[in-house]
Structures are given as C-alpha cells and as structure tokens.
Amino acid sequence: MTATRTPGDYRNLRVAATAGLALLLLVQTPQSIIQAGGGASLDREYGASLLIGATVLLAVALGYRLLTRMVPRTADHQLVARYISEPFSVVAAAAKLMSYALIVAIAAGFAVRSLSPLIDLGSLDLPFVQSIAIVVLAVPTLLGWQPGPRTLIATIAPAAASIGVIIVGGLIIELASGLKTLPEAGAIDSPVGVTWLLGGGVLGACLPAAVLGLMTERSFGEETSRRIEPRSLLTVMIPTILGIAALLYLSDVVSLPPSTKAPSVIALAEVFFPDAVVAIIAVSFSLAGLGIALAAYCQLILLLRLLATDGILPRHVAAADAHGSRRAVFGVIALTCAVAVYLIASPLGGSTMVVTIMFVGFLLTMVALLARARKLRRASTDLRERQNASRSTRTALVLGLFVLSILAISTFVQPVFTVAGLTILAIPSVALLALRRGMGKIGATLAASDLSAGRSLPTRVHAIVLVEKLDRPTLQAISYVRATRPSTMTGLVVDVDPQVTEALTRDWMAAELPVELRILGTPRGAARRPVIEHVRSLRRASARDIVIIYAPRVVSPSATWQRFFVRHSTPALLSELKLEPGVIVAEVPYQIEDVEEQ
C-alpha cells in the first residue's frame, strides 16, 4: 500500500496488529508455560503461573492507565528523556523496536512449525527456514508495498476461529467421553532445563503483560492522544487469558509433552480431530503466522516514523517521502529478526527475551514517572496536583519493584535468554546513541556562533563547463551558464583521446561559441588530475574567488528503455571536486523526451 493513509487507515491497522498480537499470545503463552512446567499438573505450576501472569498483566495495565491519565500526549521514551536523560530514552525506544523484531521472529517460527502435520520438519533446518521466511516477508515493505488492514485480518481470522473450534471441541469431548492421552513417541524434543518450574512458568505467563506495552501507543497519523486507554485493551486481553487457561487445561488433561515439534495447539488438534481437519487448521495457523509477522512489520515502519518525529532517529526519516531512509533502517532490523531466530531456540526462550526487553523499558518509564512526581511535589503549589503526584509516586514505586522482581526471576531461571535479550536491546541502543552523538557533534560544529561571519561576497565567479563532445546537453549547459553572467567562463576538456579532442575542437569553432575551450592533459593521460589542478590554480590566484563546475547530465523521466542506458551514478571527478574548498559542483539536467512523442 503506497498511497497516503488516512487516520482511519492507521486506526484499522492498529486494530489488525492488536488482533494479531492477541492471537500470537494465545498460541505462544501456553506453549511457554507447558515447556517450563515440564509436564506438571494444572493445579500446581500451570495454574499458579497463569495466575501470577494475569496479576502482572493487571499491574502493568494499571501503570499504563496511570500514564494515560498523567501524560496522555507523551510517549514512554519522551517521558524518560524529559525526566531521566536522553541516553535512557534511546534504550526505551530501542526496547519497542527490538520487541517488534522478536515478535516477527516468533510469528515466523509459528508459521513454519504449524506445517508439521503436512511436512516432516525433522528433515529441515528450522532456524534457517524461519530466517528465509523473515527475509521474504520483509521484501514487500522494502519494495514499498504493505498489506492493508483487511488483508491482515483475513489471514488472522481463520486461525482465531480454529482456536475457538479446538477449545470448544476439546471441552465437549472431555465432558462427553473424556480425552485420550497424547502419545509421546517420536514427538518430544529435549525440554529446556529450568531449575525452578514455577519461575519458568511465570516468565511464560508474563508474555501478555510485556506485549501490552506494544499496544498502548497509537499509530502514526492519529490526531488524538498518544496513549490508548488500557481499559479498552483489557477487553481484548482478558478473553485472551481465558483462552490460554482453556488451552492449558486441555493440555494438562491430555498430558501434552513439554516440547513438541508442532505448536501445542496443533498437538491438541491432532488429539481431537481427524487428519483432514488438522491439515486445514495447520494451514490456517501458518497463514496467521505470516499475517502477524506482516502486521508487526507494518507497525515497525510506523514506529520508525514516530521515533524520527521525536528525535530518536534523524528527523528526515519522518518525512512522508523519505522511503529510502526508512527502508534502510527497516532492512537492518529485518536482518536482526533473521539472526534472532537462532537465539530463540524454544518458545520459552522467545517469551523470556520479549519479557526482559519490554520490562526494562517499563521499568525506565516508572522511574521517569517517579522523577516527574518528585519534581511536581517540589515545584507545584496546586493541592490537587501535589496529591496526584503523591499517588503516582506510590503506584510507580510499587510497579517498579514488581517489574524488577520479574526481571530478577528471569535472571535466575533463564540467565542465557535474559542475557541474550539484554544483548539484543544493547546493540541498537549503542548504535542509536552513537548516531545521536555524531549528529550532536556535527550540529555543534556547524552552529553559527557569529551571525555576521561568512557573509562577504566572493570577488569573482569562475564558471567551468565540463565538455566531452558538443551535443545537445552540452549546448544547453553552455546557454544556461551564460545566462548566470559569471566573471569568466570556460569550456574544459581533457585530452584523453586525440581524435575525439580534434573533432570537438572543429565543432566548437564551427559553432562560433563566445566561450573559450581549454584543453588540459596529455593524450591518453589521466582524466581527473588535470581538472583538479586547474581548479586549484584558479583558487591560488585569488582566495576570495569561487569556481563553479557545471556538468551536463542526461536524465530520462519517461521512457523505461532509455533510462536503462542513462548513467545514474555520479562521476568520480565530481565527487572529488566537491571536497575542494571554494568549489561548487552543479549538474545541468537534460531530459530525453520519449521517441514516440518526438
């Protein structure tokens, strides 16, 4: 979709992305809890993990509700920049970027693994296949096309209906005749080593709370507050938690192994339904995984514009027509997604990394809220404002300690994946900080400390037209340069080929141009050095003179076959002349009209 989007389009895209994230939570969260529990019974680790995860979800929702009331028009990274420091705001922004990258990696893995009933996954290098899927899904965005909200919903809806069928069908079968136990032979991988089952289950169950942070800010282009009311998001998340609970219950009844080749929902479908139905469900899940990855990519490109608008990325990236700059950054993130697949060795590993990254950002936001409340209590004289600041202080402090405890559990239970998540967060953070530091130094260097300096006019302007042959582009360039009335004007040719130089001299004399033609160099000598030495000699004669180099340039705006034969790169001579002091390089375009029009 390359057309300009309206606020309604952005809103619909956000709804599609939210639906995709909710569906991904439905399949990823129970699989992470099952893998951490190692086959534990529902009334112990499964139930306790889900209960703690739901509590964390409500706590995080409370924190974002507080932010919505206090700073509705301020994003998380803006709040961190204002009340902590600019470097920490970069970390908060990078947390969302890398979380979307991990969501793409998880969704691509789900799309590939869902085809296990149709394809023998044991013969495939799954990380490599998932990396290929991630790169292929990034190609439409790199080419300037993005799917619309209806397309994304169309890929997600069949899978959501399939999950409903699995849950309802499984519960009906359980009530009617009881469920059979899933055979473990040939389907079990070695489970992830988790020393504390409840702690590992809690990490898996905290994934909805972490993903909630990706849903709380509006997409680019909506003329309302930057934040979404968490109450409306809970209307999506609470049914999701209930669906996760139902899937965990069915998984416990059939004794689902802690690790299977296929996603846990596919394994449940294989217990409840015949092979033909399972194949249809598997295809719908695979399409949904692709749709979720595309929706995350769409949100990622919008997030890049938001970060550029807020000054985290260079501001020109936020321009509507700055497609090339955004695609370059997007391409780097897509490659990061492809590499991240090799780190996400298990569903619990992917969940742990997302929880680690997003909770680091949420912790920074709570610290910024504390700093804001402290500043208000010191400076404000309004009683209501001071009371709100006191309440926000207590809430932010409790939520900050709460999230810090989850990060401590993650470090203790899954240190490898926690370090991997922090590393994934650190790499773009350091890159963005280096970019901001470099931009700051350049800005300080270019800043005008004396507004009266550098305003003296040059003494003379020497115009030089680079000539290879006397054709239409060269004649047009000479006419344009004469119209500028320079102090001196010269046509300059380097004698690389004597025959060509002799023909040019004859044509020049025949045309009777009132412009001097100067021949430099020796036959078959260097092409660039004589021009540069000539320009330097003009500058040495008078330091206050400037030299303008005019180069005829052929362009073709219409005919495709003509554009193929037109030079698109800048000649090395012009690139080198741009580095000379007191030299201006100008290209004079000559447009080739379509032959049929002529």
CA–CA separation, 264 vs 47, rounded Å? 17
CB 532 within 8 A of CB 520: no
CA–CA separation, 426 vs 421, rounded Å? 9
pLDDT for 191-230, tens place per residue? 444 456 777 788 888 999 999 988 888 766 555 677 888 8
- pTM tops 0.85, yes or no: no
pLDDT for 46-100, tens place per residue? 788 888 889 999 999 998 988 888 888 888 888 999 999 888 999 999 999 999 9
pLDDT for 466-500, tens place per residue? 998 888 889 999 999 999 999 999 999 988 888 88
By CB atoms closer than 10 A (0-12, 13-18, 19+), residue 544 is exposed
Amino acid at 398: V
pLDDT for 511-540, tens place per residue? 888 999 999 877 776 778 888 898 999 888
Maximum CA extent, the chain: 103
Amino acid at 490: T
Q: Give me the chain's average pLDDT, please.
A: 82
Least reliable range by pLDDT among 257-266, 371-380, 423-432 = 257-266
CA–CA separation, 279 vs 117, rounded Å? 6
How many helices (H) and strands (E) are present in the chain, helices listed first?
20, 5
pLDDT for 373-397, tens place per residue? 888 888 877 778 888 888 888 888 9
Cα–Cα distances in Å, from 386 out to 2, 281, 290, 377, 497? 48, 55, 49, 5, 83
CB 390 within 8 A of CB 406: no
CA–CA separation, 479 vs 475, rounded Å? 6
Neighbours of 492 (CB within 10 A): 19
Domains of the chain and any CATH numbers? 7-439 (1.20.1740.10), 461-591 (3.40.50)
Query: Across residues 260-279, what is the average pLDDT?
Result: 83
Q: Is the pLDDT of residue 188 over 60?
A: no
Helix or strand run (H / E) with residue 195: none
61: left (phi over 0), alpha (psi -120 to 50) or beta: alpha
